Structure 1
Amino acid sequence: MIKVKFLLHATFRSNPAFELIEQGNLNPQALHALADLTQDPEFFGVFRRKNPEAGESARLAYKEVALLFYFLQKAGELPHYFKSVYDDEVNRTMAKMVLEGIFEIQVGQDFHSGFAAQHFIYESQERGEDRPHPLFEMSSRAIRYAVYLNETDTTSLAAKLYAYNTVPLFIAPDNVLATFEEVEAFLGINKNNLLDRLLLKHWNKQEPNEKFSWISWSRRQQVRHDARLSQTYKMYISPVLEELPQVFEKAVNVLTASEAFSFKIGINREGLLRPDKFVAYFTNFPQLKTAADQLTPILKNHQAQGVPFTAPLDESGILSWGVDHASETILKDIEGGSWRGAVTQKLAASIALSKTEKLGQSESVDFVLKKMMLEGIDTTSWTAA
């Protein structure tokens, strides 16, 4: 994992290229876009580059950071009140704000921010010689692809990252798997077989509707898991489309005997061509790992499609996992879950930042991977840092 140097005694200054706009001085359009935040008592305003040609979006400013920005108009060490609560989390936040250009760090007689500062922020890394896991390689390819795109809208860029490794629609004919009934027939459901008996005996089915584009099953006679109050652990089961029926039947057998409380699968051709087509849910990681250990030998001869930005559970990438933190809105922005949604949104913002630095592709990828650690994501495992 990438490590950040301890910056407590470094000399900083507020970046003179930025200005801090208090919310009362924002124009009506900006205030409307920030409507929810204006009710937050800690929200102060936004940081904005003085030169609009930089093409960089504004950044939110909260009161403590705004105070620090005013304090460091003259270069110096961090103020005593800031040092007194300084810990690893504050250290990462300070490093993040230097990379984002809000503050500059002094090295010798010069001040640096952004890409130019990262060598003074991160500890030197020893590079392993082991071949990366296929999912890690896939995630790196996705980032390189996004860096290469001439895309400045972070929402669009996040959506493209989220959909990476989706199989093109022309692979499956237009007239197949058009409805969830056809998907059920494709999976071998409603054929009065062992799979049916398992599903009917142990699971309640929820059919898709306008707000839920999945076929899902929740366990019978079990207290419902409340995603608003506790974390949800997700196991992604990602075979290629043609092997999905066999994988689905084998997985349902294992999931029924496991502690999984729910699982879901895509409702049509589009849903089954995406990498995260089949997801099972658990209340904790040991339960998920036990099920994965049972599935691994059973699925070892099946071809993986693989879900980028998830942590592998087997050698091929057919099994991987992520965790959704407790939330009122698990499906808030990108359907499919908050873990990869949050990761791709942060990646998109980091990639957009790298483009303002005018970096080459390899430099941009390196910058983004390191920046993500400051966002709380360990890109050596694609888990929470």
Structure 2
Amino acid sequence: MADLALLFARLSARGLLEMQTGDGPFRSGPASLDPLFPQALRGLFARAQAQAPASHAALVQALALRHLSAPRLAGKLYRFNTLPGRAAPEPLPEADARFLRSTPPGWIYWNHRARAVSAALRHKVYLSPVPSAFGETLQRLHALAADCDVTAYKCGAGAQGAARPDKLVVYFADAAERGRFVARLEREFAGIAGQGVPFARPLDPRGFAAMAEDPPPGPGERVSWRAHVAREIAGTLAAMPAARTSADALEDLLRHLLLARIDLFGWMPDGALPKERMA
């Protein structure tokens, strides 16, 4: 029922559907959410805890820290679920006949030599092994990326890179290329414990893999999907009156995310309904 209620809420909020509650008038647009949304909210938040535990925990943390400024809270949300880690083990994969290696601040990139890396690479998969499995996962990823002709991938550099939840990011030219990669994940990375990436769509129950789709780049700025969601959450909470209860603040926050076209179940842009799942 939560799925159906949320679908109706999306359509009505955009003016594509009119809803009637009880004997009241038919209403459309954002105001139509008021009678329906509290009912959908209970099932929605419970389901989020089961299906996207890292995102659910981040929302709980955001509500507890809503007294912070929006930029500071956004930074904490973006880094949420970072764990104590160790330095990335050497040797890391080197450049080879297929991939060119580069080291911008904080990251190590491997780019396919025959493909241009551009803002069009909005489709991504996160691999989130626990820090102790970072080196093993990276070695397996390098072999799989070559076999699947992945466009580009990167890993966080040093101890901080190994500790962050989004420590390995794989970029794809389109959803089809991503789908071919996802189909291999369970077989290639079986048995590796996951850490969990907030604000990305989980691909498996252990928190090892997730995916996202970055917003189209704006003038002079390219923002990742997770950073975009963190900013939306932080800005909304920071603007709320301090006297709002946590329950009311949560309801207001989820209503805002719905109107901002963020998929509250899957943590993807609303309307992007990819079918990829680890088998």
Alignment TM class, shorter chain as reference: 0.7 to 0.9
What is the one-letter code of the residue matched to 1:340?
A: R
Task: Tell me by how many angstroms 1:206 deviates.
Answer: 0.8
Inter-CA distance 328–370: structure 2 relative to 1 (3 Å threshold): closer
Q: Please name the residue that 1:58 is paired with.
A: none
Inter-CA distance 374–270: structure 2 relative to 1 (3 Å threshold): same
- More strand per residue: 1 or 2? 1
| Of 105, 110, 113, the match for 1:217 | 110
Task: Tell me by how many angstroms 1:155 deviates.
Answer: 0.9
Inter-CA distance 366–287: structure 2 relative to 1 (3 Å threshold): same
Q: Please name the residue that 2:9 is paired with.
A: 4
| Structure 2 spans left out of the alignment, 5+ residues | 17-22, 25-29, 271-279
> What does 1:39-58 correspond to in 2, within 5 Å?
none
Confirm whether residue 120 of structure 1 aligns to residue 35 of structure 2.
yes
Q: Please name the residue that 2:256 is paired with.
A: 371
Q: Please name the residue that 2:56 is paired with.
A: 140
Inter-CA distance 380–5: structure 2 relative to 1 (3 Å threshold): closer
Task: Tell me by how many angstroms 1:123 deviates.
Answer: 8.6
How far apart are the structure 1 equivalents of 2:37 and 2:45? 20
Q: Please name the residue that 2:118 is paired with.
A: 226
Q: Please name the residue that 1:155 is paired with.
A: 71
Confirm whether residue 301 of structure 1 aligns to residue 194 of structure 2.
no
Between 1:138-147 and 1:320-329, the stretch displaced more is 320-329
How far apart are the structure 1 equivalents of 2:143 and 2:9? 45
The count of residues paired between Structure 1 and Structure 2 equals 253
> What does 1:175-324 correspond to in 2, within 5 Å?
177=87, 183=88, 186-189=89-92, 199-208=95-104, 212-222=105-115, 224-227=116-119, 230=120, 232-324=122-214
Inter-CA distance 366–259: structure 2 relative to 1 (3 Å threshold): farther
Inter-CA distance 6–236: structure 2 relative to 1 (3 Å threshold): closer
Task: Tell me by how many angstroms 1:244 deviates.
Answer: 1.0
How far apart are the structure 2 equivalents of 1:362 and 1:247? 40
Secondary structure at the residue paired with 2:179? helix
Task: Tell me by how many angstroms 1:124 deviates.
Answer: 4.7
- Structure number with the bigger relative contact order (C-alpha 8 A, sep ≥ 6) is 2
How far apart are the structure 2 equivalents of 1:207 and 1:226? 17
The TM-score, its normalising length taken from structure 2, stands at: 0.78
How far apart are the structure 2 equivalents of 1:321 and 1:221? 24
The TM-score, its normalising length taken from structure 1, stands at: 0.58
